[in-house]
Structure 1
């Protein structure tokens, strides 16, 4: 299988363009209602749980979309392809909604200290001491540049196993963020989306773990 030029660039561009497309459609009218906020909904501050979750989880989701979009070119397994399609479609939609909220609230899509919005309980046991959690820091579960490069070099069953390993860890990292926002966000729509992510990623993690075992793989250490 031929590796395309600038590996990984095209899937990421597709994900970003899809998010932008969703935002443009929503901006056509009734933005707050279309985004599920309801008329007269509160406007969270830039340092709120709501804004921090929307900013960090949308970036977390976009990496998941980037990995899922590799499957079509690198896997021949229909079960993996179906899983990846669902992840890409769902997380692109959710990332677009969260970035739409940020636009409506007048909050930048980037910047701020990563995960600063989370409560101590929400860190899920992660030791944050001594970590540089600036605006570009990797959040729990996210793949490193080296891991993504290694994934892009694989095909077939080897790709499927590594994809599942990375995506399971990715979901585990996002689970804690969603659980914290579901508990502490102020806006009902944010709590509802966070709870939906928490439930769906918990279920998908179990499914992917079974798929990984069936293909002879073992999970990576939890983030």
Structure 2
């Protein structure tokens, strides 16, 4: 079967597999949360982390799907698939927690309001101070948007990834995912320390460990491809 014909089939299988992983994660999350003695409150670290990290993961999944459609590099496509499937499963687990706690999947509370210190979503957030990542984004570009400060790509950056192909798409994906993982690690690190439920802390710590390791791989792969793309206009 040719690459042109094989890729849509592989993408379809990945989507089916991803959907199954979300369901499996949901069931695991419900089972774990159902065993807890006291459900976390609406404004808890546990609930805020479960909501905001689901959104954060959602963009990582989207970026992974995009680069797999635009790259022929087997190593990079496998890494993207691993990120996609892992984070879909984790999204399901976090949705399951909220369901079992009797809490809505979304909230009117401030984004990142559950985080302590300089990252708290207090409406006056001006970005991750001293941010020095592959994207080269300045603090001003994240001003007023805690999610952007936590590594989320901007709409223009996502559009640039959609419009790219080949090595350019690979470089864009890698540098955006480096920022994304850096922000995810910062979020998970807080939950690993401050969440009230042990299973929330455990999953958060596993995210810290896995994404910290992946950051080294991402950076090495970006360097091999010529380093970051100029995103000044993205």
Normalized against structure 1, the TM-score is what? 0.79
Deviations 1:18-54 (A, max 9, x none): 389517972xxx8742xx3362432000100000000
Residue 132 of structure 1 and its aligned partner are, at CA, apart by 3.8
Structure 2: which 5+ runs fail to align?
A: 5-10, 121-126, 130-138
The residue number in structure 1 matching 2:226 is 216
Alignment size in residue pairs: 202
Which structure has the higher relative contact order (CA within 8 Å, separation 6+)? 1
Helix, strand or coil: the match of 2:178?
A: helix
Kindly indicate whether the alpha-carbon contact (under 8 Å) linking 2:112 and 2:119 is maintained by their aligned counterparts in 1.
no
CA distance 1:21–1:57, change in 2 (3 Å): closer
Q: Which residue of 2 aligns with 1:164?
A: 174
Say if 2:146 is the partner of 1:144: no
Q: Does 1:198 align with 2:208?
A: yes
2:217 alignment counterpart:
207
Deviations 1:72-124 (A, max 9, x none): 2100100110000000000000011001111111222122210100111666x
Aligned-pair Cα RMSD in Å: 3.2
Distance 1:162 1:193 in 2: 28
Counterpart secondary structure, 1:213: helix
User: Which has a greater percent of helix?
Assistant: 2
SS in 1 for 2:111: coil
> Pairwise mapping of residues 15-30 of structure 1 onto structure 2 (< 5 A)?
18=19, 22=23, 26=27
Q: What are the equivalent positions in structure 2 for 1:1-223 lying under 5 Å apart?
A: 18=19, 22=23, 26=27, 32-33=30-31, 36-37=32-33, 39-111=35-107, 112-120=109-117, 126=128, 132=144, 138=148, 140-218=150-228
Partners of 2:151 and 2:180 within 8 A in 1: yes
| Structure 1: gaps of 5 or more residues | 3-9
Structure 1 segments of 4+ aligned residues over 6 angstroms from their partners: none
How does the TM-score come out when normalised to structure 2? 0.76
